[in-house]
Structure formats: structure tokens, C-alpha cells
Amino acid sequence: NQDAVASPSPSVSVFGNERRWADTTSYNTKKKLQAWFQLANGDWELGKIISTSGNESVITSDGKVLTVKSDSLVPANPDILDGVEDLMQLSYLNEPSVLYDLQYRYNQDMIYTKAGPVLVAINPFKKVPLYGNDFIEAYRNKATENPHVYAIADTAIREMIRDEVNQSIIISGESGAGKTETAKIAMQYLAALGGGSGIEYEILKTNPILEAFGNAKTLRNDNSSRFGKLIEINFSETGKISGARIQTFTVEQSRVVQCMEGERSYHIFYQLCAGAPSKLRDKLHLKSVNDYKYLRQSDCCSIDGVDDAVNFHIVKEALDIVHVSMEDQESVFAMLSAVLWLGNVSFTVIDSENHVEPVADECLVTVAELIGCKVEELKLPLSTRKMRVGNDTIIQKLTLSQAMDTRDALAKSIYACLFEWLVEQINKSLAVGKRRTGRSISILDIYGFESFERNSFEQFCINYANERLQQHFNRHLFKLEQEEYIQDGIDWTKVDFEDNQDCLNLFEKKPLGLLSLLDEESTFPNGTDLTFANKLKQHLQSNSCFRGDRGKAFTVSHYAGEVTYDTTAFLEKNRDLLHMDSIQLLSSCSCHLPQIFASNMLAQSEKSVVGPLHKAGGADSQKLSVATKFKGQLFQLMKRLESTTPHFIRCIKPNNNQSPRSYNQGLVLQQLRCCGVLEVVRISRSGFPTRMTHQKFARRYGFLLLENTNSQDPLSVSVAILHQFGILPEMYQVGYTKLFFRTGQIGMLEDTRNRT
């Protein structure tokens, strides 16, 4: 059995750009071993090596005999490692083994797997029997160790109480991966353990409200969140929930006025049209979905299995529970109706220069009535714009396309402000029972890294945010890892990790960073997407994460891969399009909500930034650019997260059809790479990921010793085994209680054990 004693055993790493096999040949000559080989479609399949000669190996797989290139084989793990609950336990860590482990578990409805300190959750797209009181009890009593969101939430509560440090649960993943459901499952656990005051019930009821106003059907997800959310749940000294606070990140405004075919606007519009009782309908002049341009245009009014009318009542009930008064609720619905009617406002040409004016029909009259202004007052900002030229203010008439843009900008702003106002109302209600105890658990449900065929301003912002979160992720995971080594007294020199500071600098550096240059170009009257792209090329080439591409494109090397951005519409999207005239209208109308608009708008107008066309009404008319506002929110978020102990959950979408029992290897792999899961396992394992107590090690492998040791002491037996197998000193460390091994070491012992 000579070939069993190979040293060092193959240490495999095929993550990122690395592909290191310390000793490929010795691995391949180990007959009877299992290995992965790749099919033409990229999927991996398991085979057994029969023989190897030269650069070719003969393998059997599924009854077939195949000849493959030896160096294309990737080692598979011994069967005892099938479906391990932590990827760190894999002896051979490589992409096919990780994919197989996750799939093996997923097929048995074990959708949760640990990747070292991170929880991986695969969306089952069906009900799985993993939730509810019995499970909550089991995790509360530590009766089970299976990876679960409940386990993460449980750890968070315990650590909050034990260490008196605030905690955070950071959930990421691409659209449809299950972030929002996962966040709700975590909230469910916290509510069950920390409940009692009744406030937990209110907290849970914020979900249907925020989903109604902030979620929509997209091509990727029937219930896609179009905003990011951080909910901070406060606890009293006794571990009971005492209050909560929600922070949201920019709701996608463009969806209100425009969405792709097959997608919908925000759920609440359809719910209102379908579910409002007749008295309310009359009062708000509500019609049906098909009567509204904004809702009709995407040719998609309903969602399979969803009853908008029923959901309207659920939302109303939830609003009652979080103490939004009847009066306020009605105002909210009136604003929604105003938005819909605004979309129906049309224009007629009034002069030879194609200037237009809104038609004073039912639509315009209804909008004016709903927001509480005179028809003439509404007409003005929809047909003219005040401009400052030098020290004079002139009035410019609008063309059709300008007027339509202005109308849509107004609708978008009303909606965005309404959303923010609603969140504030909810926060007031949730703060009622709150006493500052300094103890909280925050749950972050935020858009994950995005890389599409065409990437625009939205992806630019989202990926920037993910770059920041990734830095947080890195810093934290290294720290934890290294602390454990020190505790067990092992010799440890600090491990370097892939730092993404260069990429963050690319975005944030002043004055020569992506964000600064974008803002600068947005203020130039003659700035275009092309001049912006050229400016980037001129100033940023020296940053290794940046590459200027042909035409209007540029590429950023993100931690999760390269993304090429198309600068088309960057400047326009970065400028906030709402004009001062509209802002003034909204702050002066007699509807119930002008305070919100006023405070919202003025808050934004303090600092400088963009829009040559917006310089009406003096210096205070300048507004923050969208990117700058986003960056501000992000910094605030990071500051809050920084003071917490984080727990990470990475959600994975197993297929693109939202269907159960379907696992697409390529798709999963791409997400594992993007959300940094492979990276974290690789980095964690670059330390000494396999740990076994001296006792366990001696018991498991002691019988392989060729010569008896004189001592029965587990540590001596362990050392004798290490020597006999020639495991190199740099491959392990002996701690006070445990042995620590590098990747692959135990796998080799395990193989030998099985073949003996």
C-alpha cells in the first residue's frame, strides 16, 4: 500500500485565479480514488480513476469508461464527507466539491450549509419543513446543530447578552435568492425569543407594509424588493424586545412611471385599485388598473397566485397595527391616486415652437384636487420652468418631452417621499416602548452584487455598496479566525487577504475618483456621457482596478469579478430631476403631507452638487446628486454596522425559473464566486481550518501506526501518526487542546484509513 503514503498530499485550490496542486501526480496515481471531471456543458461529474498513464487517465462514471486528461481531474472527497454541514470540513476544497456538497444537501431540503463562519442559504422555491415553533424550540434549547437562520439569530441573541455588544445579521445575494424571506425568518426567531411586550407583533407587521410599497414583480422575482433595508431591533436588559427602527435605502423611483414588459409597478397600486372599498374609491376617484397609463404600459396587471384585493386588506390591517391613523392612511391613498392620475395627464401644443401645456381635463383636475392645489398652480410647473441667468430669473416654456419628464419626475418624487414618510411613521410607532439600553440586533436585507450583460448607473451604485460591505466582511472574518489560533496557543503569523481598498479608492478618492468625477461632470452644462467616460480614462488609468474601454464604457475589477459599465444616461440619472418649481408646489399645496415634501426636499438642498438646469430660485435650489446621497446613506450604514458583531448569510438562487427541485451548477457557481463564499472558505482554510482534539485524532487514526508507541497519551499517539505519515511541519500545528491542519491533510489520512 505504498502509494498511500504521499507527502505532502495534494493541496488544491482552484478559487479565484489560483489553481495549485502541490502534488498532482501522486494524487492521480492513487487508483480507485474518486475525481471530478467536466462535461462539455461545464457541469461536473463524479468518476473513479481506474488507471493513469502519461497525461491520460481512464475513469469510470455511471457505468461508462472514459479517457480524460489527467490534469483536468479534480479530486473528490471521500464518501464520509458527503453532505457535510460546513464546507470547511471538505478535505479537498474545490469548486465541484463545494457545488456537490450544496446540491447533496439541497436535494434533501437541507437548504442551509455553513461556509466557515458564513451561512449559505439556497432558495428552495417551495415550502420546506424547517420552520415554526418546534424548530424554534429546538434551536433555543440547542437540541440541534444543523445550520439554520434560527441558529444564526440564536447566536446573535446570546452574544448580544453575553458580550453586551450590538449584533448584526447581514444578508446578501442576488435578486430572487431569498434575502427578504430569510430576513423574515430571522425576525420570526427574534420575535419568538424576545417577545412578550407585544411590540414584536408590530415589528412583524412592518413587513407586509414595506413589501406593498417597496416591492414589485420583476422578471427575476415576483416579489422583488426595490429598496434596501436595515431594521434595528432593540432589546431590554432582560432580553425582551423593546422597540425597533427601520432605515431604508433609495427606493427605485423610475418604476413608478415606467417598467419593462412583464414587470409591474409597486404592489400597493394594484392592491389599492383592486381592494379599496367603494366609499374610498369615490372619494379618491379611483379607477381600475387598466385605466392608468403608468400601470397599463407593461402589459402585466396580475401575479399568479396573488390576490391584490386580499393583500390590500392585509396592508390596511398592518397599518392599523403600527398606528398609522385612518386620516393618514387616507392621505397616503390619496397621494397614490394622485400619482396614478398624474400619469394620465396629457399635453397640447400651444405655439409654433412646440411648447406645450397640460390639458385641463378630468386627469389634471383630479390631481389638483387630490394634492390640494388650484388647477392653475399645477399647470404652471408642468408647462414652465424658472431659470436663473446671471442675476435674472427667466421663465422658460417646456417642450413636450420636457413637460412629460417634469410630470414623471413629480410622480416619482411624490412616491419616494411618501415611502420615506411612511417609514418615519412606522418608526415613530416602533419607538414607543423603546428605552435606550444599548442592546440591539440589526438585520440588513440589501441588494447583492450585480453583473449583467449591460450594466448601468444602478449596478454602479449597487456594486459600490457591495464593495464596501465586502471590506467589512473581510476585515471581520480575518479577525475572528486569528483570534481562535491565538487562544489555543498556536504559532501564528498573520495571514494576508485580498484587500479591496484599491477598488474603494477608485470610487471614493477626491477629487479623482469615480464618484467625484461623476458629480463634477453632472454639473457641467455641456457634460455628456461621452465626456464623462473620457474624463475617467484620462484620470483613472493609474488605478489597477480601472480600465477604460472603447466608446462610453469602462470596466471595474470588483472583488467579485470584472464589470463593464455603460455610461449611457449616467449623468441624467445622477442629477435629481425634480425642479424647484415642483418642489415649491408640493410644499405649498393643502394636502395633508406638504411637511414631508418640504422637509425632504430642503434636507437635500443643503449641499451642492448637480444640475445646471436646476439653478432656479437661488443657491438653495442645488440638490445632492443621487450618487452622493447614496454614498452618504452607505457611510451611515457602515458606521452603524461597524459597532456590531456581524453574522453573514449569503442567499443563493438555484435556478432562474423560480422553480423547486432544480439546481443549475453554473448559476450557483457564479453566485458563490460573486458573493465571495468561495473566497471566504479559501481564505479561512489558508489558515488551519481542520481542527480535531488530540483524543479524537488518536482514536481515529491510531490503528494505522506501524510501530507501537510506548505511550497511550493521545498527544504522543497523535505526534507519532503525524511523523509516520510524513506530514510536513508547516501543514499542522499542535495547540493546547487541538491539532490544527491545513487543507487536505485529513483527507489523505481518511483515504488511507478507508483503503486499509
How far apart are alpha carbons 286 and 208 in whole angstroms? 22
Question: By CB under 5 A, what part of segment 187-216 binds Mg ion?
Answer: none
One DSSP character per residue, 408-428 reads HHHHHHHHHHHHHHHHHHHHH
Question: By CB under 5 A, what part of segment 472-501 binds Mg ion?
Answer: none
| Grid coordinates of 644 | 456590531
Contact of 180 with 212, CB cutoff 8 Å: no
Q: Is 125 in the site for ligand ATP (CB under 6 A)?
A: yes
Secondary structure class of 36 (helix, strand, coil): strand
Nearer to Mg ion, 152 or 477 (CB): 152
Out of 177, 371, 593, 746, the only residue in the binding site for ligand ATP (CB under 6 A) is 177
Q: Is 248 in the site for Mg ion (CB under 5 A)?
A: no
Q: Tell me which of ligand ATP, Mg ion, none is bound by residue 549, counting a contact when its beta carbon lies within the kind-specific cut-off of 5 to 8 angstroms.
A: none
| Grid coordinates of 241 | 424586545
Nearer to Mg ion, 214 or 381 (CB): 214
Nearer to ligand ATP, 671 or 690 (CB): 671
Nearer to ligand ATP, 80 or 128 (CB): 128
Contact of 68 with 36, CB cutoff 8 Å: no
For residue 425, the cross-strand partners are none
Tell me phi and psi for residue 603, to 5 degrees. -60, -35
Nearer to Mg ion, 179 or 468 (CB): 179
| Grid coordinates of 189 | 426567531
Per-residue mark of binding to ligand ATP, 547-576 (x: CB under 6 A) = ------------------------------
Question: By CB under 6 A, what part of segment 196-235 binds ligand ATP?
Answer: 221, 223-225
Q: Is 57 in the site for Mg ion (CB under 5 A)?
A: no
Secondary structure class of 220 (helix, strand, coil): coil
**C-beta atoms surrounding 391 within 10 Å:** 5
Per-residue mark of binding to ligand ATP, 68-107 (x: CB under 6 A) = ----------------------------------------
Residue type, 528: T
Q: Tell me which of ligand ATP, Mg ion, none is bound by residue 221, counting a contact when its beta carbon lies within the kind-specific cut-off of 5 to 8 angstroms.
A: ligand ATP
Q: Is 123 in the site for Mg ion (CB under 5 A)?
A: no
Residue with cell 381635463: 361
Q: Is 180 in the site for Mg ion (CB under 5 A)?
A: yes
How far apart are alpha carbons 378 and 373 in whole angstroms? 7
Q: Is 169 in the site for ligand ATP (CB under 6 A)?
A: no
Nearer to ligand ATP, 232 or 263 (CB): 263
Q: Tell me which of Mg ion, ligand ATP, none is bound by residue 492, counting a contact when its beta carbon lies within the kind-specific cut-off of 5 to 8 angstroms.
A: none
Q: How far is CA 186 from the centre of its chain?
A: 16
Per-residue mark of binding to Mg ion, 215-244 (x: CB under 5 A) = ----------x-------------------
CA distances from 459 to 218, 463, 467, 471 (A): 16, 6, 12, 18
Residue with cell 374610498: 280
* Rg of the chain (C-alpha set): 30
How far apart are alpha carbons 359 and 617 in whole angstroms? 27
| Grid coordinates of 21 | 496542486
Nearer to ligand ATP, 177 or 720 (CB): 177
Nearer to ligand ATP, 304 or 707 (CB): 304
Q: Is 124 in the site for ligand ATP (CB under 6 A)?
A: yes
Out of 173, 527, 735, 744, the only residue in the binding site for ligand ATP (CB under 6 A) is 173
How far apart are alpha carbons 24 and 5 in whole angstroms? 14
Segment lying near Mg ion (by CB under 5 A), choices 49-57, 82-90, 173-181, 402-410? 173-181
Q: What is the set of active-site residues?
A: 175-176, 180, 221, 224-225, 448, 450
Provide the greatest CA pair distance for the chain: 106
Q: Tell me which of ligand ATP, Mg ion, none is bound by residue 236, counting a contact when its beta carbon lies within the kind-specific cut-off of 5 to 8 angstroms.
A: none
Q: Is 123 in the site for ligand ATP (CB under 6 A)?
A: yes
- For the chain, helix, strand, coil in percent to 5 are 45, 20, 35
CB burial of 82-110 (b: ≥16 within 10 Å; e: otherwise) equals ebbebbbbbbbbbbbbbbbbbbebbeeeb
How far apart are alpha carbons 518 and 610 in whole angstroms? 10
Total residues interacting with ligand ATP, rule: CB under 6 A? 19
Q: Is 147 in the site for ligand ATP (CB under 6 A)?
A: no
Ranges assigned E (strand) in 150-307: 167-172, 215-216, 224-225, 228-235, 241-249
Question: By CB under 6 A, what part of segment 259-298 binds ligand ATP?
Answer: none
Question: By CB under 6 A, what part of segment 418-457 binds ligand ATP?
Answer: 447
Contact of 733 with 688, CB cutoff 8 Å: yes
**Pairing relation of β-strands 167-172 and 645-652?**
parallel
Segment lying near ligand ATP (by CB under 6 A), choices 175-183, 191-199, 409-417, 472-480? 175-183
Nearer to Mg ion, 459 or 522 (CB): 459
How far apart are alpha carbons 662 and 652 in whole angstroms? 13
Q: Is 455 in the site for Mg ion (CB under 5 A)?
A: no
Q: Tell me which of ligand ATP, Mg ion, none is bound by residue 249, counting a contact when its beta carbon lies within the kind-specific cut-off of 5 to 8 angstroms.
A: none
Out of 335, 651, 669, 683, the only residue in the binding site for ligand ATP (CB under 6 A) is 651
What residues make contact with Mg ion under the rule CB under 5 A?
A: 179-180, 225
What residues make contact with ligand ATP under the rule CB under 6 A?
A: 123-125, 127-128, 173, 175-181, 221, 223-225, 447, 651
